[in-house]
Structure 1
Amino acid sequence: MGLANNFRFSRRHIVGALTLGSLGLVACGKSSTEASSKAIRVGLVDWVGYSPLYVALAKGIFKELGIDLDAKTFQGNNEEKIAFVGGRLDGAADVLSSGVELANSNKDFRIVMVIDRSVGADGILASNKIADLKGFQGQKVALEEGTVSHYFFLQVLAGVGLTGKDITIINASPGDAAAAYQSRNVDIAVTYAPFLGKANAIRKDGRIIYDSSKNPYAIADIYEFDARFIEEHPDTLQAFVTGFFKGLDYIKAHPEESAEIVAKELKITVAEVTEFLKGVQLADIPTNLDMLTNPASQGYVPKTMATLAQFLLDQGQIKAIPDLAKLIEPKFVLAAQKA
């Protein structure tokens, strides 16, 4: 069985039809027509970085804080974004590069928190016959176009003086890209955990030539919320943000139990959860404040987004650089610090 069939992982990738299912650990199943002032609808895709939310739901933390949380899991980031833009979600888990693209739309939203950042979970697999990154020129590369993996790869290419025109992309999902590399159909693939480590272990004549630990601020997951929802339901959103961080606190205090909760939700093993979390830094309150409010920080989100915006503009992925300064709203993290 190929890697693509072994895991229920679909983090941040694009597929065709809009299909969504409620998270197995959902706290409340109210429809949007039944939504109360304490109801909140959020979206996400399967990803170990969202462990604090899974744990907070499982332990009833959001209920204790008085909110009815409807968390919907999507097959891919594109479907989630469609639901968010269409008003079927109040908030959406996203990545910074996708957030820059969303800022070019008519959607009025704010980034209220950083969820995690990739510190090795995303990477590039390459055959040993490819000596270095410059050796990518003229090669076929399996990756999923238009996703965080694509942007990550283009940034790596730019670092050695290459562009997307110097390689041939084989468009494939993260799992299929890893499987193509594993079966030697391609000599380069861009993917992320769990596919990254599995394919690397199986194909002995290759290695992970580059991973996100070398650029730990390039890939970060964030939570975006609708601007009108923020204005009309600040207390509900505050409870969500506070609950998320309480979920992270629970993980730190009870790592084994928490790993079991996440493993059950993602349908992987506890050992895999533990291994995959090594490549992700779950963003606690101090990390959030550093990335959202400290202009001197290497990970300052507005600065990272500005760099991404210029890069996406140069690559023709966006038509103009949006007003990024207005997107950051750190007040809920600041208040959670005092909770």
Structure 2
Amino acid sequence: MKKIIIGILIAVIAIAGIKAALSFQQKQTDQTAQSNNARVIRIGYQASSSLTVLEKTQKILENELAKDNVKVEYRLFLAGPPMNEALASGQIDIANMGPLPAISAKGNGINVKAIGRSYSDDYYYSLLIRPDSDISSLADLKGKKIGVQLGSGAYVFFLFLLDQNHLSLDDFNVVNMTTSDQKSALQNNNVDAVVTWQPFVADIELDNAGKTLINSKGVIKTAGVYLMRTEFGEKNPDLVKKFLKAHEDTAAYLKDHPDESLKAMAEDSKIPELPLQKSLQTIDWDINFTQDDLNTFTKIKDLMKNQGNIKKDFDINDFIDKSFIN
């Protein structure tokens, strides 16, 4: 029963907003057309989208596109599902998000393509317990309260972890919890564990609010996705190519100017420098998807399909569009 309830909640998170946005998309507007004609590119991101934050603060894409009289707009979101709604309704053109919401968008009828990898990391997710906890294994958490943001990549990591250990959601008291609430929940003993991603993992650890029991190494190697409205790419292929080139230029800037980059990212994202620095140590910024990435995406898609969280099956290879990478 718990699995059914959580599955329904995931479906609500991943699909409900998409349905509303898709109905709006049917009446799509002269406003979207005008935006395209005016040559504007609108980027969706989260505070944890470190490279996009740096790109924004250093105006790397903005300065490049200004040469062509193109405006760049960055729009901050709290999670992937709201970005899907914005993509579906034509409010943004490209979004930096995790694999689960990206696959959810495609599987629920939004006309999108994955055009590049925004990051890759073996250690991106962790299950953390309180620092004074004597829990030593996942099995020790049976019946305990675990906070995780449903519909996130961290939730997928948790599901894969359960499968790897021959456990199920019914073995735990799983509650939906945003990243902004997880640290205080551990500190106030409101949960026994949380499942989250970087740089929030590092922030919890460095603040001594929790310690990692299990990380994602050997469970799932995540790969972030630059998700693009297909229509925007068809009309503006030159802008998409320059957007992806800006990713590579920003990664190079981060490598050459680590101190300035950390300061800029911390100030803009409101995430302290030390957690950011720690979280960036294992991230690969290569923009090219690997076969391992595609295999992981297929596993996530199949998991979502089995849970009834996507309406339409699709081939991951048809979801990927490598034509914009120089």
Q: The TM-score by the shorter chain falls in which range?
A: 0.7 to 0.9
> Structure 1 CA distance, aligned partners of 2:53 and 2:208?
29
Unmatched segments (≥5 aa) in structure 1: 1-12, 18-30
Do the aligned partners of 2:60 and 2:246 also contact (CA within 8 Å) in 1?
A: no
Q: Residues 232 and 275 from structure 1, CA distance in 2 versus in 1: closer, same or farther, beyond 3 angstroms?
A: same
**How far 1:55 moved relative to its partner?**
4.9
Unmatched segments (≥5 aa) in structure 2: 1-12, 18-30
SS of aligned partner of 2:189: coil
Greater fraction helix: 2
**How far 1:320 moved relative to its partner?**
4.7
Do the aligned partners of 1:178 and 1:190 also contact (CA within 8 Å) in 2?
A: no
CA deviation string 1:232-283 (max 9, x = no partner): 211111111112211111111222222222122112343343223125x142
> Structure 1 CA distance, aligned partners of 2:312 and 2:71?
38
1:275 correspondence with 2:278: yes
1:126 correspondence with 2:126: no
Partner of 1:240: 243
1:82-93 pair list within 5 angstroms? 82-93=85-96
Partner of 1:265: 268
Q: Residues 227 and 79 from structure 1, CA distance in 2 versus in 1: closer, same or farther, beyond 3 angstroms?
A: same
Partner of 1:24: none
Calculate the TM-score normalised by the size of structure 2. Answer: 0.80
Q: Residues 233 and 84 from structure 1, CA distance in 2 versus in 1: closer, same or farther, beyond 3 angstroms?
A: same
Q: Residues 331 and 214 from structure 1, CA distance in 2 versus in 1: closer, same or farther, beyond 3 angstroms?
A: same
> Structure 2 CA distance, aligned partners of 1:224 and 1:36?
21
1:150 correspondence with 2:158: no
**How far 1:52 moved relative to its partner?**
4.8
1:120-269 pair list within 5 angstroms? 120-127=123-130, 128-201=133-206, 207-215=211-219, 217=221, 219-269=222-272
Do the aligned partners of 2:61 and 2:72 also contact (CA within 8 Å) in 1?
A: no
Partner of 1:42: 43
Alignment counterpart, residue 72 of structure 1, candidates 68, 75, 85: 75
> Structure 1 CA distance, aligned partners of 2:73 and 2:208?
41
Amino acid at match of 2:81: N
Over the matched positions of the two proteins, sequence identity in percent amounts to: 21
Do the aligned partners of 2:109 and 2:312 also contact (CA within 8 Å) in 1?
A: no
CA RMSD across the alignment: 2.8
User: In terms of mean alpha carbon deviation, does 270-279 or 249-258 score higher?
Assistant: 270-279
Partner of 1:57: 59
Do the aligned partners of 1:142 and 1:186 also contact (CA within 8 Å) in 2?
A: yes
User: In terms of mean alpha carbon deviation, does 155-164 or 270-279 score higher?
Assistant: 270-279
Q: Would you say how many aligned residue pairs link Structure 1 and Structure 2?
A: 296
1:308 correspondence with 2:313: no
1:98-117 pair list within 5 angstroms? 98-117=101-120
User: In terms of mean alpha carbon deviation, does 167-176 or 191-200 score higher?
Assistant: 191-200
> Structure 2 CA distance, aligned partners of 1:320 and 1:34?
30
User: In terms of mean alpha carbon deviation, does 257-266 or 318-327 score higher?
Assistant: 318-327
> Structure 1 CA distance, aligned partners of 2:148 and 2:259?
33
> Structure 2 CA distance, aligned partners of 1:193 and 1:51?
14
CA deviation string 1:99-130 (max 9, x = no partner): 22111222111111100123334211125432
